[in-house]
Amino acid sequence: MFQNRALGREETLLRHETDRSPNLLDHPGEWYVLAPQYSDEHWRITSFYLVIAGPGLLTQLRGFGGAGGDLEFGLDLNDGLGSTRNMAPVVFHASESAKDWKAGHHNGTVMDLAAGVYDNGNPRAGLRGDLRQPRASSVWTSEEFPLRYGKELTGLSWQADLLRDASGIPLNSARLILETAVAGAGGSFIWTASITISTGAELSAGRRDFAPIRCERYRFKIELDFFDVGEMAHRELFVRQTSTFFLVGVWISLESPWWTIRSLADLIHRAEADRELRTGGYDGNWDICVARLPVSAEIIGRRAEGVRARINQPGNGLRLLEVHAVTDVWYEDV
């Protein structure tokens, strides 16, 4: 096994994937990335170290090298639901507790406190059809939710125990619908069924990412069909069942993500106290800013996790922007 160590600067510079350039100004608006090269690696990133330089850089702090522009970081991490996604600009909101499932409107559905179990063996609440009143289908509609500090919806995630046939293939036994609303006249809202996931194959995926949907409110609708499940040769052993949902949630794109930095002044404010600003300090002509942004991220190679950064619409006073991640590496014992 390789020895655990701290990675060097050249090893942890974020680089463009085509030409390996570390200067974000060579490809404005495009991502520069850093990720483990091997699946058994675990990285602990404790800070981003930035070197920024350009003529007159420090004469105007309300942008990057001039008015406007922003520096955007991405954190491609496991989302806790079996997928890797950029967690920097989003927040997740889910319905999964007994309180969540009780809320909203039930039409032939019930909240079951012991619908399933967590990995630690504790009972897990869920939503299923009311077996005391079996019917062709049942429907649960959640409460209405505002986006709060978000601006748009970008994805759905869910966890469910789906009904399956004898070969294990998921049946088309449920439909998950995301409804969104925009403001109408007189304080009313106009609702639209924006996303519908209706087949067993689609539901077994557990996620759906989509083009951003701008809205003021959203709600979930889950339709559950009853099926006979049991031994075909013995009709008395048939059990009427539905699929069971344990979690359904949306990924909300934030209006002002923490990891989108709007100006050099914003960067200086967020940086550690050991930052350095010097007029003409880069080569006698260009101003320089050296800053360290604290971050706490564990990057696992086998999950295809990593970090990235890009500069959007920089000003003419910016010539150099390099980012390296201060990183320790250790290895899985496999």
| Annotated domain spans of the chain | 5-89+257-331, 90-254
Cβ-contact 252, 147 below 8 angstroms: yes
Cα–Cα distances (Å) from 31 to 23, 26, 279, in that order, read 11, 11, 29
Helices (H) and strands (E) in the chain, counts: 3, 25
Percent of the chain past pLDDT 70, that is, above it, reads 96
User: Which DSSP helix (H) or strand (E) runs through 45?
Assistant: strand 41-54
The helix/strand/coil state of 238 is coil
The pLDDT-based confidence of 228 (bands split at 50, 70, 90) is confident
In DSSP terms, 13 is beta-bridged to: 324
Tokens describing residue 95:
């319905």
Q: What is the pLDDT averaged over residues 6-14?
A: 96
Look at residue 237 in the predicted model and tell me its pLDDT: 44
Look at residue 134 in the predicted model and tell me its pLDDT: 67
Per-residue pLDDT at 96 exceeds 90: yes
Question: What is the C-alpha to C-alpha distance for residues 45 and 298, in angstroms, rounded to an integer?
Answer: 6
Look at residue 230 in the predicted model and tell me its pLDDT: 55
Question: What is the C-alpha to C-alpha distance for residues 114 and 98, in angstroms, rounded to an integer?
Answer: 10
Cβ-contact 285, 56 below 8 angstroms: no
pTM of the model: 0.89
Look at residue 322 in the predicted model and tell me its pLDDT: 98
Look at residue 231 in the predicted model and tell me its pLDDT: 46
pLDDT tens, residue by residue, 153-176:
999 999 999 999 888 899 999 999
Q: What is the mean pLDDT of the chain?
A: 92
- Burial of 223 by CB count in 10 Å (0-12 exposed, 13-18 middle, 19+ buried)? buried
Per-residue pLDDT at 235 exceeds 70: no
The helix/strand/coil state of 28 is coil
Cβ-contact 68, 255 below 8 angstroms: no
User: Phi then psi for 203, rounded to 5 degrees?
Assistant: -70, -30
The helix/strand/coil state of 100 is helix
| Non-local CB neighbours of 269 within 8 Å, separated by 6+ positions | none
CATH number for the domain formed by residue range(s) 90-254: 2.60.120
pLDDT tens, residue by residue, 182-220:
999 988 999 999 999 999 999 999 999 999 999 999 999
Question: What is the C-alpha to C-alpha distance for residues 134 and 259, in angstroms, rounded to an integer?
Answer: 49
Cα–Cα distances (Å) from 74 to 11, 23, 198, 255, 307, in that order, read 19, 17, 32, 15, 6
Pairing assessment for the beta strands 84-86 and 70-78 based on DSSP bridges: antiparallel
Cβ-contact 206, 159 below 8 angstroms: yes
Per-residue pLDDT at 233 exceeds 70: no
- Burial of 314 by CB count in 10 Å (0-12 exposed, 13-18 middle, 19+ buried)? buried
